[in-house]
Chains A and B, each alone.
Chain A
């Protein structure tokens, strides 16, 4: 499924009300009061922060380090609490 809905002609449309678009149009990063900041030096690349993010907002880079997707991260702080190495700090957004 694509993020944007693209119908060229009327006949492309489904016969009943159907949601064809993805919620990735909704940039939930704007909800955030606190931002997770990861200290790479402390990180052991366990992936626990990735595992427990309810917003699918942490991905692992080519070297398996976690990267927060600030476009969607809501700043819940679960990743910071679950990190076994205290490598994630929540800092106030301006």
Chain B
């Protein structure tokens, strides 16, 4: 059998994620790339429950449960401790939800990032505060229903551009990824592992109960998010140079929205509005990638 992703399983069965949980898939893939020489930090999020109650754990690596605000900075501290002991071969990974990243953890993350501490920060983005019952976060997309943005008052703000905020700190590597494209996700983690400094990965993770979608289409939805350009996959190197990881022909946005109860209330005009916002953002990314071409060409030549 030729595997397209590493065969090793570090995360085990028996974890407490819902059926079809994208966050569980994200962890399984991440640990395949990271391997057992990894230490993780989790702030309060679904994963602090998925991992299991004391005295059990599912990740298969040492894990530190942190306060909601502090995933990044606890990871920084663990790295400092490892450095003091001269241990160089350990990956330190902060693993947080969108609430713990876009909202409440942003200050600690910004601090870690400004110091360019040598950690990998992975935000698994299920686009709301799922663990506490689906409240909107600044990662919730425009148009979505959550318990705090009910159908008549659906979310009217756009999703925060976290990738741009991280890139503005001039860190060496920022990338988006998806549970529907594990090969791409693992490739990005391997690159993140290979370089020093703060690395940020933003991964879209389907949440069937929060998105009000069927568990069996969890991977299909994550794929459609990329194919409809709603969640583009790209990298930002050195905070300035953009590279599209894939540039698929755009599928109709409704392919992505229709199977999700959280978008069911949207009228045709509202879907068109949403589509416009998505196109606007996508063409901005394409422009940036075009501008960055000489940088990546030069990089190729020096190789």
One of B50-58, B66-74, B293-301 at the interface = B50-58
- B60 A26 Cβ-Cβ under 8 A: no
Number of A-B pairs whose CB atoms are under 8 Å? 108
One of B116-124, B132-140, B212-220, B262-270 at the interface = B212-220
Interface size class of B (residues with CB under 8 A): 35 or more
- A28 B20 Cβ-Cβ under 8 A: no
Q: Would you call A15 an interface residue if the criterion is a C-beta within 8 Å of the partner chain's C-beta atoms? A: no
Q: Which residue of A lies closest to B216 (CB)?
A: A77
- Interface digits, A11-45 against B, CB 8 Å rule (1 contact, 0 not)? 00000011111111111100100000000000001
- A22 B19 Cβ-Cβ under 8 A: no
- A76 B14 Cβ-Cβ under 8 A: no
- A26 B52 Cβ-Cβ under 8 A: yes
- B17 A22 Cβ-Cβ under 8 A: no
- A19 B52 Cβ-Cβ under 8 A: yes
- Interface digits, B25-37 against A, CB 8 Å rule (1 contact, 0 not)? 1001000000000
Q: Name B's interface SS.
A: loop
- A22 B182 Cβ-Cβ under 8 A: no
- A77 B20 Cβ-Cβ under 8 A: yes
Number of interface residues of A (CB under 8 A): 37
Q: Would you call A81 an interface residue if the criterion is a C-beta within 8 Å of the partner chain's C-beta atoms? A: yes
Query: Chain B: residues with CB nearer than 8 A to chain A?
Result: 1, 3-5, 9, 11-17, 19-22, 24-25, 28, 51-52, 54-58, 60, 63, 182, 214-220
Residue pairs across A and B with Cβ atoms less than 8 A apart, 26 shown, are: A18-B55, A21-B55, A22-B60, A23-B15, A23-B16, A23-B56, A24-B12, A25-B56, A31-B19, A47-B3, A52-B25, A52-B182, A54-B20, A54-B21, A54-B24, A54-B28, A54-B218, A55-B24, A56-B13, A56-B28, A72-B13, A75-B19, A77-B215, A78-B218, A81-B220, A82-B219
Q: A22-B56, A23-B14, A76-B20 are in contact. List 16 more A-B contacts (CB 8 A).
A: A1-B60, A19-B51, A21-B57, A22-B14, A24-B14, A28-B16, A47-B1, A51-B4, A54-B28, A55-B15, A56-B13, A60-B1, A72-B13, A72-B14, A77-B215, A82-B219
